[in-house]
């Protein structure tokens, strides 16, 4: 099934969500490298700071239109920079980034439902 055309607001929202999804992939790769470093018993401090630096632009980009997803990204930075057991932290980060990606996909689906252009039969717009 083809996706419906979107109005101007919907196009902007989808662009924001697409960019956020790309940057979420970057966050996910940092988390997975952090897990590999943990398995090799390397220090995880650089990864926490790297994740924080990468997550702040994502959160600020989403804050205007998608505040709840922005809050989820901010929660990832808190998890990454706190102390505690490394395995639990990595597990929480993996769950958190999965929730962020899922929220982005759900928001995109809602944008297509709410901001679709409805064509009226028998009327041709120029």
Write down the domain spans for the chain.
Answer: 8-114
pLDDT tens for the chain, 126 residues: list them: 567 677 788 788 889 999 999 999 999 999 999 999 999 999 888 898 999 999 999 999 999 889 999 999 999 999 988 878 889 999 999 999 999 999 999 999 998 888 777 666 665 554
3-state SS of the chain is CCCCCECHHHHHHHHHHHHHHHHHHHHHHHHHHHHHHHHCCCCCHHHHHHHHHHHHHHHHHHHCCCHHHHHHHHHHHHHHHCCCCHHHHHHHHHHHHHHHHHHHHHHHHHHHHHCECCCCCCCCCC
Give the per-residue pLDDT at 126: 41
Give the per-residue pLDDT at 51: 94
Single pTM value for the model:
0.83
């Amino acid at each position: 099934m083809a996706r419906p055309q979107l109005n101007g607001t919907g196009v902007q929202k989808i662009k924001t969500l697409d960019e956020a999804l790309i940057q979420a992939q970057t966050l996910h790769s940092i988390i997975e490298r952090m897990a590999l470093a943990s398995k090799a018993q390397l220090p995880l401090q650089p990864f926490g700071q790297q994740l924080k630096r990468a997550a702040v632009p994502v959160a600020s980009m989403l804050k205007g239109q998608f505040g709840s997803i922005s809050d989820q990204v901010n929660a990832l930075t808190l998890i990454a920079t706190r102390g505690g057991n490394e395995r639990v932290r990595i597990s929480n980060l993996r769950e958190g980034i999965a929730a962020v990606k899922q929220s982005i996909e759900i928001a995109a689906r809602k944008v297509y439902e709410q901001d679709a252009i409805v064509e009226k039969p028998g009327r041709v717009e120029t």
